[in-house]
Each structure stands twice: as C-alpha cells, then as structure tokens.
A and B are shown apart, each in its own frame.
Chain A
C-alpha cells in the first residue's frame, strides 16, 4: 500500500461518514403498492401481501413488519419442492436497486397472527414495514376475502 494512499485514508473515511449521513434511508426509496390481507375465519393467521419497488441506487431489504392490529407479524416464505409445500420464517427479503420484489401468495408473505379485534373484509390495516437500515414505511393494507386471489380480482 502506497504512502500516498495511506495519507488519503482519513479523507476517505471522512467522506464515507459524510455519505452515510446524507444517504437517504431505504424507506425513502421504497414504494409500496397493491397491499392486501387475506382474511380467514375466526382467529386463524392471515397472509399479508404487497408490491415493493426500490427506486434507489442501493439494494434494500425488507426485514420486518408490525401493526397495532395484530399481536404478531412474521416474514415467511412458502416453497414447493418435490411436490411438498413448506413454509419457513425468513430474516429478510431483498429488494434490488431499481427493481421490484413482491410479497405474493405462494412466495414471500407476512403471517399476521392474533388480531386485537376481528379484521373484516374491507378494513384498512396499517402495517409498519421495517427495512435493513432500520428505516420504516407505514403502508395501508386492504382486507380482502379468503377466496381472493390478488389485490384486485
């Protein structure tokens, strides 16, 4: 490593720190749309779905979600390998820079459990999405019937 590079290091760190301070949060670059919840009878867990678009130059990740309407919200992923359907808890879902990622039936989804009060079809439920850098985005989800196949069918 050259001496000149070593001398430049403090400046490099200073500019990195500056970049961190001025860099917009992930939430500021993520747009949420077509957000809906599949309501199931009784107190059965419901699925939450949303399209996320990252308009930023950096990759983002959806890490978590919470809501005052449900005591527990978890990020899950369904898979079907060898004819067997499985569901697993996942740590996060990547949202590529200038790309989209979707929580959709049969793939990534939010598992919404223990509603404080019954959620009815037509209700608007606010979920706070948390991203990799800790930034958050409040998103309104519309409650749809059990036999809905998407946001607007």
Chain B
C-alpha cells in the first residue's frame, strides 16, 4: 500500500505518469479487431472496452516462449491483486489452422482466469498483426509434418478506451510491467 501511495503522489506532482515501459500513446492505432473467442463467440475490440488489455501474439504448439510469456503474465496478474480484475490478457493465435477455439480455451485457462484466447480467419489475424506493425511467419514443415511460427515477442497494452498506451518488450523486467499496469489500472479506476 505504501508503494501505491508513493506512486500516486508521484503522479500528482508531475501530472504525467512516469512510465517504465515504452510509451506508445498516439503512435499506434486504437484496438480494433473481429475475431472468435475461446468460447467460439464472435467478438470485437468493443467487447473489451472498460478493461486494460494486454495483447500478445502466439500459438499453442509453441512449447517454450509462449507458455513462458503467459506464465509470467499470470505472475504479473497475481502481483496486481484485485486490480487485475480490470485487465484482460488477449492471446491472439498466429496459427489459426491448428488453434481452434476449443484448443485455445484449454490453453489460456491453464495460465490465468483473466486470459482470453482469440483466433479467427487468417485475414483478420494478419490485419490485427499488421495494425501494430507486428509480423509472423510460418516456418517450413518438419519431417513429422509439424511446424513452428515465428512471431512478435512484444506485449501491447491498451487502456479501457482501447487507446494504445504502452509496449512491453523482452528487454523490460517484470517489475516494469507491474509498475505500469498498477498505474494504468489505478488511473482507470479513478476516472
């Protein structure tokens, strides 16, 4: 609680929040997509208004980096305590051929109750990826017919109005992410 007090005091003094992640306000477009959630329901970005959104691209057949990122985000959500209810992790599949809503449902729920798995048509997913200057590439099939997908490691953070606010890259620490989410979620709850 002391840490929160210090944070808020800092805000009042400087008027502008002191972000530790990359501030992308005004540099990236608002959150916008038409995809299918892990219950098989058609959803748009409007369905997540009012929530701070953590957008991450990945795929379920990725045994290392995607689970690591989602496990770390779970720890971040735990560290945020009750504030985490104001946030959603949107895990967007860059492998819709294998990632059906059912597969996505089991996957995201293994990590955090506030994680949502989104899949959809290759065109919609590509549009969302390009919107945030992100990219993914399906690598050549291995001998066993399986394949990997190279994808962006960034986490894009949007406020409750769908405005792009922060970018978390692999060079930033978990403390940076917790700090900024705390700030963003606290700001949201005041307005």
The secondary structure that dominates the A interface is strand
Q: B11-19, B27-35, B67-75: which lies at the A interface?
A: B67-75
For residue B103, give the distance in angstroms from its CB to the closest CB of chain A: 7
Contact B63 A85 (CB under 8 A): no
Q: Which of B123-164 contact A (CB under 8 A)?
A: 135, 139, 142, 144, 146, 148, 150-154
The count of A-to-B residue pairs whose CB atoms sit within 8 angstroms is 95
Docked Cα-Cα span, A105 to B106, in Å, equals 21
For residue B76, give the distance in angstroms from its CB to the closest CB of chain A: 11
Contact B153 A44 (CB under 8 A): no
Write out, one digit per residue, whether chain B residues 91-109 have a CB within 8 A of any chain A CB (1) or not (0): 0000000000001001101
A3 within 8 A of B: no
Q: Which of A34-50 contact B (CB under 8 A)?
A: 38, 40-42, 44-47
Which residue from chain A places its CB closest to the CB of B154 in the assembled complex?
A: A83
A146 within 8 A of B: yes
Contact A80 B107 (CB under 8 A): no
Question: How big is the A interface, by class?
Answer: 20 to 34
Docked Cα-Cα span, A148 to B70, in Å, equals 10
> Which residues from B are CB-within-8-Å of A148?
71
> Which residues from A are CB-within-8-Å of B75?
149
> Which residues from A are CB-within-8-Å of B135?
84
Other A-B contacts than A47-B64, A111-B63, 20 sampled, CB-CB below 8 A, are A38-B63, A41-B106, A44-B60, A72-B144, A80-B153, A80-B170, A83-B170, A85-B66, A85-B150, A85-B152, A87-B62, A87-B65, A87-B150, A106-B64, A109-B63, A111-B64, A146-B111, A147-B67, A147-B70, A149-B75
Seen from chain B, the residues whose Cβ lies within 8 Å of a Cβ on chain A are: 60-68, 70-72, 74-75, 103, 106-107, 109-112, 135, 139, 142, 144, 146, 148, 150-154, 169-170
Seen from chain A, the residues whose Cβ lies within 8 Å of a Cβ on chain B are: 38, 40-42, 44-47, 72, 76, 78, 80, 83-87, 89, 105-106, 109, 111-113, 145-149
